[in-house]
Amino acid sequence: MDTEEFVLVRDQLRSFAARFRVGSADDVKPSAGAAAQEALGELGLSELRRATPPAATVQECALLSEEHGSLPLPTSLLGTVLLAPELLRLLGTPAAPGRTPTIALGRDLRFPAASSSPLVAWDSEGADEALCVLPDGTVTAAGLGPAAPSVDLLRAIRIAEPSGRVVGRLDTAGHRHWQAYALTVVASELVGAARSFVAQSVEYARERAQYGRPIGSFQSVQHLLADATVLVEACASATRYAAWCLDHEPPERALAAARVAKAEVNRSAVEAVYAGTQVFGGIAQTWEHIAHLYLRKVRVGATVLATTADLLTVLAEPEAVR
């Protein structure tokens, strides 16, 4: 889409986020999540990548994912709006009328390891079914069961019950694109969360006074926030390059860039949020403060799809083996 059109879409998402953001953990309620998801659906973002060629680039989708991660929102943007439609586009299969799919992952929230692996429907607010991509590229459908426990209070996760129905099969290039796209979109949301929380920490350091001075005037706090800012920029650089590769490079190169980005974000986003939490001090340890919502998001997000250890292991292998 052109620049003006993207700015309009981004501003719509920002307005939506400002309206439905969660102020504290006490605001995380099923009714609020359902209302927010319905409002998100009215924005029509699931159509951005539905057509071939898509209306929006991967870079634009990654930026929207950052926006969604910047505020505590109880909505499923990644699973139902960005990931599932892209998977169906790659398969050349339209969504079933009146059905909203999301993505199925292993119980450990990683890419499913085998057809017999227990599954969960990840980011499933407003979803009716889940799509599971097996290691050989086969895509199967799964029904949604009861809610599954999760540390992330903002993200709905449910037990997925495999139906045995085969939706389609990705070829090698399609499977690589799918993995790269998923890694990049998830990493981008974590970048948005880390960036936003560090920015809030900077504002707090300007306002909070100790010994008659703003705590941001103390060198130790300045160093802490400077280091956190560098970490966030490293994450952003890696994820945006990965998104660019998906738009301009072959799938194998895009997948390598996405693996590097997710490995970087898994570590750096968590460290940046930890730094911001230290700046907030004791109030960040309370249930009422939003700090733990950001921390829960990045801690869980660091395990989604692939951990740093998983990714570095694959990246260390000879290119022919990957």
145: burial class by Cβ within 10 Å (0-12, 13-18, 19+)? middle
For 59-102, write each residue's pLDDT tens digit. Answer: 999 999 999 999 999 999 999 999 999 999 999 988 778 889 99
For 264-275, write each residue's pLDDT tens digit. Answer: 999 999 999 999
How far is residue 37 from each of residues 74, 223, 294, measured CA to CA in Å? 8, 39, 20
* Planar angle of CA 162, 77, 172, nearest 5 degrees: 55
Task: Give the whole-angstrom CA distance, residue 175 versus residue 162.
Answer: 20
Task: Give the whole-angstrom CA distance, residue 263 versus residue 300.
Answer: 14
For 155-174, write each residue's pLDDT tens digit. Answer: 999 999 988 899 999 999 99
Does 289 fall in a domain? yes
145 — alpha (psi -120 to 50), left (phi > 0) or beta? Answer: beta
Does 54 fall in a domain? no
Residue 295 structure tokens: 């921390």
Q: Percentage of the chain surpassing pLDDT 70?
A: 99
How confident is residue 291, by pLDDT bands cut at 50, 70 and 90?
Answer: very high
Residue 204 structure tokens: 């707090």
For 200-244, write each residue's pLDDT tens digit. Answer: 999 999 999 999 999 999 999 999 999 999 999 999 999 999 999
Task: Give the whole-angstrom CA distance, residue 9 versus residue 61.
Answer: 10
State how many domains the chain has: 1
pLDDT at 117: 80
Does 265 fall in a domain? yes
Task: Give the whole-angstrom CA distance, residue 157 versus residue 9.
Answer: 27
Q: Is a pLDDT exceeding 60 seen at residue 144? A: yes
Beta strand pairing call for 138-147 and 158-169: antiparallel
Does 89 fall in a domain? no
Task: Give the whole-angstrom CA distance, residue 187 versus residue 273.
Answer: 14
Q: Helix (H, G, I), strand (E, B), or coil: what is residue 160?
A: strand
Whether the link from the prior residue into 53 is cis, omega within 30° of 0, is: yes
b/e map 174-202, b = 16+ CB within 10 Å: bbbbbbbbbbbbbbbbbbbbbbbbbbbbb
Does 258 fall in a domain? yes
How confident is residue 320, by pLDDT bands cut at 50, 70 and 90?
Answer: low
Q: Is a pLDDT exceeding 70 seen at residue 322? A: no
Mean pLDDT over 148-152 rounds to 93
Does 99 fall in a domain? no
Mean pLDDT over 117-146 rounds to 95
pLDDT at 189: 98
CATH number of residue 249's parent domain: 1.20.140.10
Task: Give the whole-angstrom CA distance, residue 83 versus residue 102.
Answer: 7
User: By residue range, what is the domain housing residue 271?
Assistant: 174-315
Lowest mean pLDDT among 31-40, 48-57, 79-88, 195-204: 48-57
7: burial class by Cβ within 10 Å (0-12, 13-18, 19+)? exposed
b/e map 255-271, b = 16+ CB within 10 Å: bbbbbbbbbbbbebbbb
* Predicted TM-score of the model (pTM): 0.95
What is the chain's length?
A: 322
Lowest mean pLDDT among 27-31, 180-184, 251-255: 27-31
Task: Give the whole-angstrom CA distance, residue 171 versus residue 54.
Answer: 19
Amino acid at 182: A
Average pLDDT score over the chain? 94
Does 70 fall in a domain? no
Does 299 fall in a domain? yes
Asked whether the CA dihedral 212, 214, 215, 217 is positive or negative, the reply is: negative
